Amino acid sequence: MRTAVLAVALCIIAPALAAQELERPKEWKVRFDRPNANPSGLYFVNMPPGWHITTGPAGILYDPGRRAAGEYRVQSKIHLFPGDRREGFGVFIGGRDLTEDSQSYTYFLIRKDGRFLIKRRSGTGTQTVTPWTDHPAIVKHLGGEDPVENVLAVEVGTNVVEFYVNGEKVTSLPRSNLDVEGIVGLRVNHRLNLHVTELTVEPKGVGGR
């Protein structure tokens, strides 16, 4: 129901917003995986509630001022629109040196077939921490014209990092194995159409957890 309401709302507001010039969030930065990627392949604009993103090249999107350290919870509500690509999308934490060759971060992605992935990036290389894994908590996109909604969350504790989809824990990992302190943002792979209605960072334990 909520995704259907969002789809209707976007159909109503998009023409009015398009009549204005939809703007990319001024404080946000983008880094593509490939240095030679064509930036015109990315459509990333403010579209209340949240942002609309259509890729193009794979990469990360972030506000340099949105950071987290210590014990915290990151949450993002993401709506996936119809498309043929079985590509991942989600959040990243622990971002450091994101404009440098030494960039690093941990990312938590899902994809339309109901699987999730956790990886670490260091420079140009990546390390798979948890390979693509099925989980029933993930709402699949099985076709049709409506978007589907999933809520991803990462809870960083003193010793353990827990990963959630739609309120259900899908896995937990030792904090020592991950990059967790630094910039928080979004990661979107190739040729996806998304609407992100929230990306929040708050101390762990807020909201009853």
Q: Which residues contact 206 (CB under 8 A, 6 or more apart)?
A: 73
Say how far apart CA 152 and CA 169 lie, in whole Å: 10
Q: How many residues does the chain have?
A: 209
Say how far apart CA 98 and CA 200 lie, in whole Å: 20
Q: Which residues of the chain, if any, have pLDDT below 70?
A: 1-21, 207-209
Look at residue 144 and tell me if it is in a domain: yes
- Number of folded domains in the chain? 1
Look up the CATH number of the domain holding residue 6. Answer: 2.60.120.560
Say how far apart CA 112 and CA 114 lie, in whole Å: 6
Look at residue 209 and tell me if it is in a domain: no
Q: Count each helix (H run) and each strand (E run) in the chain, helices first.
A: 1, 14
Say how far apart CA 156 and CA 173 lie, in whole Å: 10
Q: Which residues contact 160 (CB under 8 A, 6 or more apart)?
A: 172, 173, 174, 175
Closest CA to 53 of 32, 24, 91, 13: 24
HSE value, Cβ hemisphere, 13 Å, CA-based, for 81 = 15
Look at residue 145 and tell me if it is in a domain: yes
Task: Give pLDDT tens digits for 36-92.
Answer: 999 888 999 999 999 999 999 999 999 999 999 999 999 999 999 999 889 999 999
Question: pTM to 2 decimals?
Answer: 0.89
Say how far apart CA 82 and CA 195 lie, in whole Å: 12
Q: Which pLDDT belongs to residue 209? A: 54
Range of the domain at 148: 2-203
Residue for token pair 């957890």? 209
Look at residue 32 and tell me if it is in a domain: yes
Look at residue 208 and tell me if it is in a domain: no
Q: Which pLDDT belongs to residue 20? A: 44
